[in-house]
Amino acid sequence: EALYRQTLKVSPRATNIRENLGVVAWNHGRIAEAEKEWDIALKLNPKSPITLTNLGLIYARRKQYQKAEQYFRKAMLYKPDYTDPHLNLGSMMMDLGRFEEAEWQLRAAVALSPLVPSCQNKLGKLYLKEGRLSEAAEQFSRSVRAARNFEGYDGLGDVYLRQQNLRRAEQAY
């Protein structure tokens, strides 16, 4: 954070530094500060998919879903192969119960980043919610093959538990 602030003294128009400073603030729960940095970054570069996605997160957190969706979709427009807006929009749609739209976005995220466990895990959770157990198991299995992670194993445990396979559920958990 100190390095970013020093850099801004020399290069106040450094968009990526503003984006990063916003991420630091976001990660420390300083949401208003994150939003301020991302607003400045967006003024400096109105087509930044990273900034647009981050601002989408702000609005999703505030439950301003329509505005969040606009930011995520705009980020996709400027960089269609950027995983984060697909993942975040899919997650938001899932939370809103819009499962068809969520699946489409989450499948796009998995296609763009097949080795990123969070993509498979989120799609696996959607399938689990819908009772599509074999598809959920496939996503969670891909996740843990890509990188051992508790979310993937936990998801596999949930699938096996729903299938009443207690031995495999215990192993996964």
DSSP per-residue codes, 19-80:
HHHHHHHHHTT-HHHHHHHHHHHHHH-TT-HHHHHHHHHHHHHTT-HHHHHHHHHHHHHH-T
Distance CA 27, CA 83 (A): 20
The proportion of the chain whose per-residue pLDDT surpasses 90, expressed as a percent, equals: 98
- Average pLDDT in the 83-103 region? 98
Distance CA 170, CA 159 (A): 11
Location of structure tokens 């074999």: 134
pLDDT tens across 50-87, in order?
999 999 999 999 999 999 999 999 999 999 999 999 99
The proportion of the chain whose per-residue pLDDT surpasses 70, expressed as a percent, equals: 100
pLDDT tens across 139-170, in order?
999 999 999 999 999 999 999 999 999 999 99
Distance CA 146, CA 69 (A): 29
Distance CA 77, CA 74 (A): 5
The pLDDT score that the predictor gives to residue 10 is 93
Closest alpha carbon to 86 in 71, 67, 99, 72 = 72
pTM of structure: 0.92
Local structure of residue 90 (DSSP, 8 states)? H
The pLDDT score that the predictor gives to residue 45 is 96
